[in-house]
Amino acid sequence: MNKKKFVIANWKCNPQTSKEAQRLFSEAGENAANVKNLEVIICAPFAYIQNLKSNIQNLSVGAQDCFWEQKGPYTGEVSPSMLKDAGCEYVILGHSERRKDFGETDEIINKKIKAALAARLKPILCIGEKAEERERIKEAVAGQIKNCLAGAEQSQIKNIIIVYEPVWAISTTANSKDCPPEEAFSASLMIKKMLIDLYGKPIGEKIKIIYGGSVDSKDAASYVKEAKVDGVLVGAASLNANEFGKIIKSVAELNK
């Protein structure tokens, strides 16, 4: 039996209208209609989540961030329990843009992960090295994994999806470069070994590892096939309905 794969869309601060969000969501649902062993997750801005969930078509819904408390005097924050009530199943945490632009540390991400798990959300944890850390990737990535997952309930760890997202390969990073599938494969193997060392083989092998970093329809299937990961996190390409449809179909094709 083929292992289930994931195609996750990160819309970031897009699109600009609810109407456009509904259109993108609907077209993604049509492209995911007849695929097997593939879960398509749309991580949308907070403002659109509830409306998208009410019109779900073969898709799961996620958020792009959450706060580390479930309620309280925290003006402007959105709690994990609110997201769960709105229909979310997943939440992206630790994205490199949150780390870089908003100063999020591993310790902050750790608090968010534990809060998300307590609300029965499945965290999509982004980890990855910067260009200057490339020669010491093991140290950089190991630190992120240990710090971000510290103290999380072992029984819930299997619900986390790990995204290997090398910061130097993201298109919005200055002087970005493509990450070859063989390099992504090496990193994913290293991450899997770390998880098994931390949590034991039964739990470590259940944790899904996917790739993120300027994924498009030309390379999505290559990453899944050659890097032997469990799926892809898609940024800009997920905002083009035709392009995102090609990605869904190319990954689904591998599982036939």
CATH architecture assigned to 5-254 = Alpha-Beta Barrel (3.20)
pLDDT of residue 171: 75
- Whether 165 sits among the annotated catalytic residues: the reply is yes
Model pLDDT for residues 18-32, shown as the tens digit of each residue: 999 999 999 999 999
The answer to whether residue 56 scores a pLDDT higher than 80 is: no
Task: Spot the catalytic one: 39, 95, 97, 104.
Answer: 95
The residues facing 82 across adjacent strands are none
Task: Find all residues with CB under 8 Å of 25, minimum gap 6, and list them.
Answer: 42, 44, 52, 55, 57, 59
CA distance linking residue 209 with residue 42, whole number of Å = 17
Model pLDDT for residues 194-234, shown as the tens digit of each residue: 999 999 999 999 999 999 998 999 999 999 999 999 999 99
Torsion of CA 192, 199, 166, 232, to 10 degrees: 70
pLDDT of residue 1: 43
The answer to whether residue 55 scores a pLDDT higher than 80 is: no
The residues facing 7 across adjacent strands are 40, 232
**What's the whole-number average pLDDT of the chain?**
95
Nearest residue to 6 (alpha-carbon basis) of 37, 47, 48, 44: 37
Model pLDDT for residues 73-129, shown as the tens digit of each residue: 999 999 999 999 999 999 999 999 999 999 999 999 999 999 999 999 999 999 999
CA distance linking residue 185 with residue 157, whole number of Å = 22
- % of the chain with per-residue pLDDT over 90: 89
CA distance linking residue 32 with residue 28, whole number of Å = 6
Task: Spot the catalytic one: 97, 104, 129, 165.
Answer: 165
Q: Report the pLDDT averaged over residues 157-186.
A: 90
Q: Quick one: how far is CA 141 from the chain centroid?
A: 16
CA distance linking residue 43 with residue 219, whole number of Å = 21
